[in-house]
Structure 1
């Protein structure tokens, strides 16, 4: 599910603007897509300008999230430590109580703690160690993909290079969201045939028998500019690639449940690969069945070529990612 959260301004952790709503919205997120204006024509307040450094946007967003979590944790840290000692809890148990409000389970918190070598007992943590723990938690709870938007702007190249040099560990995707919106709109109006995620755009001139509407000269020139400045140069608008990058960061793979394992069609019998779900890489096949159909009795599971697949066999790209589930007759 994609969630468009409220806008953020500096000092959101202090309640400025819609900061509290924005930060609360984040708790449900598994991954953040940070849309960065690499043209430098929008400042931190969202106002039009020229020459703004988009690196600042990346840094203050991460800082806002950090200060929000840190503030919530340190506000009652003294009582947290006293209760931790009195109840003889483990570090994981105590942090689960404090960080559970961010939709974080023990596994996620444990994964964050494992990234800190030589972690001392919680009762001995100083301010610096608490900050290290918060940053480790952020990296696991809020993995971020940077959408470097307005990639076709004249000032974008230098800013893109600067961001990639500064954040080599971050997943970055070049995008032109305005172009994507326009192309989808024109496709819906039957002016063009557009394969989203690719460089391919066809007009009535390209496909005279496709029933596409004729364009005026102004619109035709605009399409040519989009082809030259965006699609041919970058290969796509980047929007589909952005979603793929988010799935990669979360280690998700697409699985296609089909009724007919030979034709790859569904219940309608005509649409190929109509359904698709994202599951964690390495998930057992039976968990995919449960996610799709609930608690039903499975008679058999087939993969490509009609090969039987075991319930505990795992899913990966190109491995058990096209599946047909056969139910027990009359089973629910």
Structure 2
């Protein structure tokens, strides 16, 4: 299973975060219509649906994932997802134990902001009427920004003094301060390169401000600017407009679509997906998770008051969610979050790829594509091997990696960058 990607669910209390987690995983997170139902983070495994490499090699019948599954060339890749306790305004200053909850998010790669689109809960998760949920986007992102900014600015004088005294580079200084947010020095180096942030160059930002040549000259405004750039790269966010089945939701949805990037917005009804999962497990309906309809088992779901109640709920879900939006949206949200992280799928073999595929075409029992890893684009052959196999076996032994071969039998250079065209490869290790 891939350990490379963690989706962090954020949002205010009572927005449906824990319900969303329950909808896309087998977790049993506590839910409730009152603030701070969740205190400790809940985690689970969800699945990203994407084309599998077995399609390319025309051997879908032999695809046998160790983790997840593959159905007719569609791979269900396990992805970790975490729900932290609800945030409220002032979280970055400790309100509602906010700093503790923000710290839980440090290792996430993508944030999924679950928003109560109905406007029936205020910024603290308390019941109300007519609340504008677009406010939640503004204040929550400001809290995340202030969380990191305050941690930097509160000790900025000490940081700059150390930077000067130890003659550190910008990358060295920023890496020391930002490493706690789950990013390696290579990430900081790439960020600085993207921003043209070096010791000898300047960067125009929004055509109004600029980063100074040396961070000793950065003022409060420039530190804010850098934190904004850091967050865009380190913690990208998608907006999951939840509770779309409620009557007050459509007008709020329209407003948010008008104010924010539609590519970052997904509509969902997590509670509907949870109910459909429950009905499926109990045999009342036939439903494929994430699909646009279901079939009622009339024989089982009939004859008593409870059955009639279930039928009414199912009909409401069909009318107000599935027919209107074609899906409950929860798996669309997972897919959008993974795509925002933009990982590369890599399929390592321990035997010759060509021989294995040829054998599979003649032997239906041959298992192929057992492993699939999600890695950051730009990863090299050696970096990939060292990330999934132990570097040290015993004592002074340096590395288990010897070399790699592409699917066409070509020996690959250690520093060759993995792409969609060479992501199926044979890894050869020392004994």
The reply to whether TM is greater than 0.5 is yes
Query: When the two structures are superposed, what TM-score results if normalisation uses the length of structure 1?
Result: 0.81
> Which region of structure 1 is more displaced relative to structure 2, 52-61 or 255-264?
255-264
Matched, 1:153 2:249: no
Aligned to 1:209: none
Matched, 1:78 2:78: no
1:298 offset after TM fit, Å? Answer: 8.3
1:282-311 CA distances to partner (integer Å, 9 max, x unpaired)? Answer: 5456766665665767898675xxx54765
In 2, Cα distance between equivalents of 1:240 and 1:272: 26
Select the structure with the greater relative contact order (CA < 8 A; seq sep ≥ 6).
2
Q: Where in structure 2 are there 5+ consecutive unaligned residues?
A: 1-79, 196-202, 205-209, 392-399
Q: Does the residue aligned with 1:224 lie in a helix, a strand or coil?
A: helix
Q: Does the residue aligned with 2:131 lie in a helix, a strand or coil?
A: coil
1:41-60 CA distances to partner (integer Å, 9 max, x unpaired)? Answer: 11111111111111111111
In 2, Cα distance between equivalents of 1:89 and 1:324: 40
1:15-39 CA distances to partner (integer Å, 9 max, x unpaired)? Answer: 1112121111121111111100110
Residues matched between the structures, number: 316
Contact kept? 1:261, 1:302, Cα under 8 Å = no
Contact kept? 1:39, 1:150, Cα under 8 Å = yes
State the Cα RMSD in Å.
3.3
Identify which of 143, 147, 169 aligns with 1:68: 147
Of Structure 1 and Structure 2, the greater strand share is in 2
Classify 1:79/1:156 alpha carbon distance in 2 versus 1 (closer, same or farther; 3 Å): same
Contact kept? 1:284, 1:315, Cα under 8 Å = no
Aligned to 2:15: none
Which structure 2 residues correspond to residues 244-259 of structure 1 after superposition, within 5 A?
Answer: 244-254=335-345
1:99-148 CA distances to partner (integer Å, 9 max, x unpaired)? Answer: 12212223333444434535212111111111101111111111111111
Which structure 2 residues correspond to residues 187-226 of structure 1 after superposition, within 5 A?
Answer: 187-205=280-298, 213-215=300-302, 216-226=307-317
Aligned to 1:231: 322
Aligned to 2:376: 280
In 2, Cα distance between equivalents of 1:30 and 1:76: 26
1:182 offset after TM fit, Å? Answer: 0.7
1:180 offset after TM fit, Å? Answer: 0.8
In 1, Cα distance between equivalents of 2:314 and 2:409: 49
Classify 1:282/1:140 alpha carbon distance in 2 versus 1 (closer, same or farther; 3 Å): closer
Contact kept? 1:180, 1:237, Cα under 8 Å = yes
In 2, Cα distance between equivalents of 1:263 and 1:194: 36
Query: When the two structures are superposed, what TM-score results if normalisation uses the length of structure 2?
Result: 0.64
In 2, Cα distance between equivalents of 1:88 and 1:96: 14
Classify 1:291/1:124 alpha carbon distance in 2 versus 1 (closer, same or farther; 3 Å): closer
Classify 1:148/1:221 alpha carbon distance in 2 versus 1 (closer, same or farther; 3 Å): same
1:145-187 CA distances to partner (integer Å, 9 max, x unpaired)? Answer: 1111111222212212222222227611111100111111111
Q: Does the residue aligned with 2:142 lie in a helix, a strand or coil?
A: helix
Contact kept? 1:36, 1:54, Cα under 8 Å = yes
Aligned to 1:10: 89
In 1, Cα distance between equivalents of 2:339 and 2:142: 24
In 2, Cα distance between equivalents of 1:155 and 1:263: 58
Identify which of 321, 331, 352 aligns with 1:240: 331
Q: Does the residue aligned with 1:243 lie in a helix, a strand or coil?
A: helix
Matched, 1:28 2:120: no
